[in-house]
């Protein structure tokens, strides 16, 4: 029978609850257990696909085409699993199911109520994952922070599960202990309040993961123990660290794995984190740098820079750099700057490689096209991801094929030279305003042409990669582009759609219609990213 661990957050968001969840999973996995993880997001959006990245952070995509929270990406990276739509629960999804069921008379005349029908649906979704995956441990991360109105029904579901099988269920609170500058001391009071809030929902945490800038000392552990009703050993110190991949190892230093096993009635086990420890060793030891610029637009929120929007791209760059024993130095370049001041383009020469990642809408597009032109002409290794690939095609059409007004119908509806265009079925969806969950999503096969950078990278002639886009390279322009030297290096055989483009006579110029970053893993970096970093290192010399 599966064991369930609920992980909720206290004090504030952004303290690394997702990574903590993934790390707990990693530890249990390394002790020989089969683990899976579920992310619950309390928003009404059915999935993350309709949200702006500045609002939500990256929209992660699974093989089965679920547009979900970036934490699913953390779970996949740490646990080396491919998760599915079942691993992602939102308020929207839960209510949608219950309402549809009610409309179909499946409640047989009963009054359908928020309690118990909503928590019951949550529980049934959690149990479905356990049953389908046959996992020993199902980790369930409840998004948001305890005390929020939004996640109460999910806590209620957790409480109900605990009531029915107390021996199989554990609660972990990931909390934060601030060290206010003017006080200079680590404060436990916000955590005490968070535990009270959890208590009000009928839940007592078994373990508290105490996040802070520095390690949590004995006096603080004692305080948390007394006021939060947990023993001192069950307060896990989780200080800020250089790399998130260190977290499982740090948790184990506090004996977290065996504390969990003991509480849930299982015998202690040794972990095996050898490969993982080697990776951390590399991360810490490498000094030589590789400088990568990302040209995007989802960075700024007020006075702050947001890195969440491109998290999988960032992790993929890091993983591939570590593979080549290099320390990645990643810079954020706002595309719009190049529209205002094209002279500043020459700063791109300071980078060993440039990435233009995915994106939607017109803003920043012309600046990105200018930057791509600069990379093409100056032989700077370039990796274009989805939108980045589409813009590389537009740039090439305009400046090499002489199709001066070439564009994507995403940016110019009535464009005469639509080198990037929607497929008829996508057009129909747009007309009906059916936006949610309707893009080309998830895994598609890709046949790779021989003797290309891609075939070198993959070391084979076929792959499957994840998509999230509406627009495609317009096959009507394929010949023209090819005649001028663009290589169609990857094709989806079923639909005859271009998946990868490359350029001849360039050290590395690759654009992918898919998002390779979604499949990059710390111990198994993505082949195209590895090849890109390799070219970037050559460029350095």
Residues found near ligand GLN in the complex (CB under 6 A): 358-360, 386-387, 410, 468-471
Angle formed at CA 240 by CA 238 and CA 246, multiple of 5 degrees: 75
Distance separating alpha carbons of residues 490 and 500, to the nearest angstrom: 4
- 151: exposed, middle or buried (C-beta count within 10 Å: 0-12, 13-18, 19+)? buried
Kindly give the residue spans of alpha helices, DSSP state H, lying in 80-182.
91-103, 114-133, 152-164
Token look-up 């005859």 returns 496
CA 90 remoteness from chain centre: 16
Q: What is the closest distance, in whole angstroms, from the C-beta atom of residue 413 to ligand GLN in the complex?
A: 14
Instruction: Kindly state the tokens that stand for 385.
Output: 């991801």
CA 109 remoteness from chain centre: 42
The residues annotated with a catalytic role in the active site are 386, 515, 517
**Nearer Cβ to ligand GLN (338/471):** 471
- DSSP secondary structure string, 489-511? EEEETTTTEEEEEEESSSS-EEE
- DSSP secondary structure string, 186-198? ---HHHHHHHHHH
**Nearer Cβ to ligand GLN (384/522):** 384
Q: What is the closest distance, in whole angstroms, from the C-beta atom of residue 529 to ligand GLN in the complex?
A: 17
**Nearer Cβ to ligand GLN (410/502):** 410
Backbone phi, then psi, for 143, in 5-degree steps?
A: -65, 165
- 67: exposed, middle or buried (C-beta count within 10 Å: 0-12, 13-18, 19+)? buried
Pairing mode, if any, of strands 486-492 and 440-448? antiparallel
Secondary structure class of 139 (helix, strand, coil): strand
**Nearer Cβ to ligand GLN (295/386):** 386
Distance separating alpha carbons of residues 191 and 178, to the nearest angstrom: 10
Q: What is the closest distance, in whole angstroms, from the C-beta atom of residue 431 to ligand GLN in the complex?
A: 16
Q: What is the closest distance, in whole angstroms, from the C-beta atom of residue 468 to ligand GLN in the complex?
A: 5
Q: What is the closest distance, in whole angstroms, from the C-beta atom of residue 359 to ligand GLN in the complex?
A: 5
Return the residue nearest ligand GLN (CB atom).
Answer: 358
Q: Which helix (H) or strand (E) holds 25?
A: helix 17-30
- Nearest Cα to Cα of residue 322 among 352, 285, 297, 369: 285
**Nearer Cβ to ligand GLN (144/358):** 358
**Nearer Cβ to ligand GLN (65/359):** 359
Q: What is the closest distance, in whole angstroms, from the C-beta atom of residue 60 to ligand GLN in the complex?
A: 12
Q: What is the closest distance, in whole angstroms, from the C-beta atom of residue 387 to ligand GLN in the complex?
A: 3
């Amino acid at each position: 029978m599966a064991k369930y661990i609920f992980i909720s957050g206290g004090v504030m968001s952004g303290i690394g609850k997702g990574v903590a969840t993934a790390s707990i999973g990693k530890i249990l996995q390394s002790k020989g257990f089969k683990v899976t993880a579920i992310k619950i997001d309390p928003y009404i959006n059915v999935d993350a696909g309709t949200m702006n990245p500045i609002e939500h952070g990256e929209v992660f995509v699974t093989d089965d085409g679920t547009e979900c929270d970036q934490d699913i990406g953390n779970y996949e990276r740490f646990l080396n699993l491919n998760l599915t739509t079942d691993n992602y629960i939102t308020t929207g999804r839960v209510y949608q199911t219950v309402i549809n069921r009610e409309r179909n008379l499946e409640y047989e005349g009963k009054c359908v109520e928020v309690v118990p029908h909503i928590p019951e649906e949550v529980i049934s979704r959690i149990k479905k994952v356990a049953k389908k995956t046959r996992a020993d441990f199902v980790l369930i991360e409840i998004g948001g922070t305890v005390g929020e109105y939004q996640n109460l029904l999910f806590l209620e579901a957790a409480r109900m599960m605990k009531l029915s099988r107390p021996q199989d269920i554990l609660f972990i609170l990931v909390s934060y202990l601030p060290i206010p500058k003017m006080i200079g001391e680590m404060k436990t009071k916000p955590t005490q309040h968070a535990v009270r809030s959890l208590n009000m929902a009928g839940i007592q945490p078994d373990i508290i993961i105490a996040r802070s800038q520095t390690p949590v000392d004995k006096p603080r552990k004692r305080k948390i123990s007394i006021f939060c009703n947990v023993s001192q050993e069950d307060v896990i110190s989780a200080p800020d660290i250089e790399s998130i991949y260190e977290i499982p190892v740090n948790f184990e230093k506090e004996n977290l794995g065996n504390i969990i096993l003991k509480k849930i009635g299982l015998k202690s086990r040794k972990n095996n984190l050898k490969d993982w420890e080697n990776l951390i060793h590399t991360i810490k030891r490498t000094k030589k740098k590789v400088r990568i610029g990302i040209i995007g637009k989802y960075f700024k929120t007020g006075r702050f820079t947001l890195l969440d929007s491109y998290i999988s791209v960032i992790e993929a760059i890091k993983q591939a750099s570590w593979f080549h024993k290099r320390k990645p130095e990643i810079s954020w370049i706002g595309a719009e700057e190049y529209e205002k001041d094209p002279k500043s383009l020459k700063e791109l020469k300071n980078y060993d490689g440039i990435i233009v990642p995915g994106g939607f809408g017109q803003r920043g597009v012309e600046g990105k096209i200018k930057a791509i032109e600069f990379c093409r002409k100056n032989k700077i290794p370039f990796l274009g991801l989805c939108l980045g690939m589409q813009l590389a095609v537009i740039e090439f059409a305009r400046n090499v094929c002489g199709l001066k007004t070439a564009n994507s119908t995403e940016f110019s509806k009535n464009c005469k030279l639509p080198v990037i265009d929607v497929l008829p079925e996508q057009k129909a969806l747009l007309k009906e305003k059916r936006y949610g969950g309707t893009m080309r999503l998830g895994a598609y096969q890709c046949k790779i042409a021989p003797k290309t950078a891609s075939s070198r990278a993959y070391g084979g002639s076929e792959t499957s990669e994840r998509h999230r886009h509406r627009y495609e390279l317009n096959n009507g322009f394929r010949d023209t582009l090819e005649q001028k030297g663009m290589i169609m290096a990857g094709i989806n055989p079923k639909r005859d759609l271009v998946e990868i483009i490359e350029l001849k006579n360039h050290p590395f110029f690759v654009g992918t219609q898919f998002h390779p970053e979604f499949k990059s893993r710390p111990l198994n970096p993505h082949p195209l990213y590895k090849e890109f970093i390799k070219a970037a290192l050559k460029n350095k010399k």
